[in-house]
């Protein structure tokens, strides 16, 4: 009969060498931590755990009797105090004696006054490898790391067996090595030895993102996990060529496989090939396109089932759009525009009564009411005519000429596309630099309505080059609308993704109020390589440490610093060859 002990026991153990032991083709060698800096402000073992080195770390704590400790300390303080007074000040060990005297007084005071407990601390580090040369390399590296963290170590030569046993999960601190490792520590100092440090992020139902740069552990993130994250929003920042767009496309691809609805605003025509590969819908709007979106159309999904106020909701959104066209409107001008919008809809028999949005049709000899379609809605030309009939709004009529009769008359059409796909790309590239904001706002309005259709479905809206909507070239009404999306989208099972390479621009409107709000309302922040100027701006609105500022500046293409809730992790984005071909637009078989 084979017993459990036989199953877990090694086939052989070689103890012939004093510098290491050999067990089942693995070589083991250990380090004993013998001393520490007096003051520790960092977690001692964090750097060790985050290295990609095979090791076992064992920590023992032995609580001491405080009364006996105080008695021994008092005796020691008395003896050393007398020696210091009577001794020759030229003694070589006078400084050491004075230091131990002060340490003893400090420990006694902490125990008596602050109710601290005192422990004996033992730390052992056992490393292993298949090759002796690699094991030696590991030992040298760990010795360097421990020294930089204020820990002194010695190699456990001739005591490798005892250290190996002490590092097994047997709760056995071998006597032969205890004296070398024993150091006293107060309760407050135990914080520095906290061993359970999250070196990676692994959400069980998450998608694969990449690997931890320091220890090659896998990074899986489930941004829709409401128990772990406050929201599913993301910010993706990085300079051109840092890997920002590749990462975004990779996310879209992987979430498409999970059946999550995704809507992308594409000002730079980057997502066309991806859309084709994933059988999505690409809607182009511009002078050469034959697809149209009616900005004045009221859609059934614009308010949730059971709510009321179709026209009021639409007018509020249109005020933001016309702020982009007419410039910053004052309160009087907004009231005038609202008055003319109400009149424009009234001419199409649409009022604040939601029943006016429905029409009666006959189908199979049965009459029923259905929501009015695009042809029943007004278009910009209808508003243009209403504005021209009032001297007070004549100036607004003139500003609408390009949108009704001029170079942007494609805005003056009925909607010609159906938005019935899980992946929709809004291509606004043809609008040109000065007019991109109009198309981006138009599709933001449409996609926001799609987001609100069903609370139970997971979905996401991606704002590429979001600075155009919340930066200085926009206005506070549009920026407020975008901020509202990031603040409330979680209620609808959605995720807002802000993407930009122009860090300064997203903080340029209203002293960065909207950029900061969107950043703070994103549980996941991803920073690819950034220029020093952008890092300085970003550090004003995030908790970037000095070390992280240096890391972000020196990141290679495809590497990023991720803030996932409270965790900060350096990550290398990884993908398969098939994913790479799809993302980069290469033909796949």
Contact by Cβ (8 Å): 293, 283: yes
Q: What is the pTM of this model?
A: 0.73
Binned average pLDDT, 10 residues per bin, the chain of 589 residues: 79 94 95 86 79 90 91 84 66 69 85 90 96 95 92 95 94 94 90 73 90 86 93 94 94 95 94 93 90 92 86 92 90 94 95 93 84 92 95 94 92 90 94 90 92 91 93 85 93 95 88 91 95 90 86 93 89 94 74
pLDDT in the model for residue 90: 55
As a whole number of angstroms, the distance between CA 244 and CA 238 comes to 6
Of residues 377, 349, 350, 372, the one with CA closest to residue 360: 372
As a whole number of angstroms, the distance between CA 571 and CA 243 comes to 12
As a whole number of angstroms, the distance between CA 190 and CA 40 comes to 10
Q: At what angle do helices 532-539 and 546-553 cross, to 10 degrees?
A: 150
What is the CATH topology of the domain spanning 292-416? Helicase, Ruva Protein; domain 3 (1.10.8)
Pairing of strands 26-36, 151-155: antiparallel
Of residues 245, 318, 241, 213, the one with CA closest to residue 497: 245
pLDDT in the model for residue 298: 94
How many other CB atoms sit within 10 Å of the CB of residue 158? 10
pLDDT in the model for residue 589: 47
Contact by Cβ (8 Å): 461, 494: yes
Contact by Cβ (8 Å): 566, 230: no
Of residues 15, 54, 9, the one with CA closest to residue 161: 15
Q: What is the mean pLDDT of the chain?
A: 90
Strand partners, 426: 265, 283
pLDDT in the model for residue 16: 94
Phi, psi of 283 (to 5 degrees): -105, 115
Domain ranges for the chain: 11-64+117-193, 292-416
pLDDT in tens, 422-441: 999 999 999 988 899 999 99
pLDDT in tens, 339-383: 999 999 999 999 999 999 999 888 877 888 899 988 999 999 999
How many other CB atoms sit within 10 Å of the CB of residue 458? 18
SS3 262: strand
Q: At what angle do helices 310-326 and 436-451 cross, to 10 degrees?
A: 160
């Amino acid at each position: 009969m084979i017993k459990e002990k036989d199953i877990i026991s090694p086939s052989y153990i070689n103890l012939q060498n004093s510098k290491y032991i050999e067990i089942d083709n693995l070589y083991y060698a250990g380090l004993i931590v013998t001393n520490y800096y007096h003051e520790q402000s960092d977690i001692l073992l964090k750097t060790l755990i985050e290295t990609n080195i095979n090791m076992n770390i064992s920590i023992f704590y032995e609580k001491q009797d405080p009364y006996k400790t105080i008695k021994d300390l008092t005796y020691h303080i008395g003896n050393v105090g007398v020696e210091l007074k009577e001794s020759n000040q030229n003694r070589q060990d006078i400084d050491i004696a004075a230091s131990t005297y002060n340490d003893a007084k400090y420990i006694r005071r902490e125990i008596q006054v602050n109710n601290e407990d005192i422990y004996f601390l033992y730390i052992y580090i056992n490393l292993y490898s298949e090759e002796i040369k690699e094991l030696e390399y590991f030992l040298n590296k760990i010795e360097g790391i421990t020294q930089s963290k204020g820990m002194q170590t010695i190699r456990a030569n001739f005591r490798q067996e005892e250290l190996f046993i002490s590092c097994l999960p047997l709760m056995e601190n071998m006597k032969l090595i205890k004296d070398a490792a024993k150091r006293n520590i107060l309760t407050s100092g135990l914080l520095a030895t906290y061993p359970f440090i999250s070196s990676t992020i692994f959400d069980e139902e998450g998608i694969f993102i990449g690997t931890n740069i320091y220890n090659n552990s896998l990074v899986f993130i489930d941004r829709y996990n409401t128990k772990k994250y406050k929201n599913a929003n993301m910010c993706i920042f990085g300079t051109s060529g840092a890997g920002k767009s590749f990462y975004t496309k990779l996310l879209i691809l992987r979430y498409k496989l999970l059946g999550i609805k995704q809507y992308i605003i594409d000002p730079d025509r980057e997502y066309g090939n991806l859309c084709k590969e994933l059988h999505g819908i690409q809607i182009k709007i511009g002078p050469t396109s034959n697809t149209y979106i009616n900005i004045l159309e009221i859609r059934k999904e614009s308010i949730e089932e059971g709510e009321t106020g179709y026209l009021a909701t639409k007018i509020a959104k249109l005020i933001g759009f016309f702020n982009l066209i007419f410039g910053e409107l004052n309160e009087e001008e907004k009231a005038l525009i609202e008055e003319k919008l109400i009149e424009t809809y009234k001419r199409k028999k649409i009022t604040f009564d939601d029943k006016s949005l429905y029409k009666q049709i006959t189908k199979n000899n049965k009459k029923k009411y259905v929501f009015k379609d695009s042809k029943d809605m007004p278009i910009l030309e209808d508003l243009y005519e209403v504005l021209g009939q009032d001297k007070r709004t004549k100036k607004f009529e003139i500003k609408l000429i390009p949108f009704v009769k001029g170079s942007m008359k494609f805005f003056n059409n009925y909607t010609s596309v159906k938005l019935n796909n899980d992946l929709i790309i809004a291509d606004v590239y043809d609008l040109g630099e000065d007019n991109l904001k109009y198309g981006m706002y138009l599709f933001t309005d449409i996609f926001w309505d799609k987001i609100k259709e069903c609370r139970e479905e997971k979905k996401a809206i991606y704002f590429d080059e979001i600075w155009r909507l919340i930066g200085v070239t926009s206005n506070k009404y549009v920026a407020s609308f975008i901020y509202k999306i990031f603040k409330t989208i979680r209620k609808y099972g959605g995720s807002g993704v802000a993407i930009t390479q122009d860090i300064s621009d997203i903080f340029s409107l209203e002293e960065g109020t909207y950029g900061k709000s969107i950043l703070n309302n994103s549980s996941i922040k991803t920073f690819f390589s950034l220029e020093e100027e952008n890092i300085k701006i970003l550090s004003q609105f995030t908790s970037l440490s000095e070390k992280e500022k240096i890391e972000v500046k020196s990141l290679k293409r495809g590497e990023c610093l991720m803030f996932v809730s409270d965790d900060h992790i350096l990550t290398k984005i990884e993908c398969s060859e098939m994913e790479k071909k799809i993302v980069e637009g290469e033909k796949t078989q």
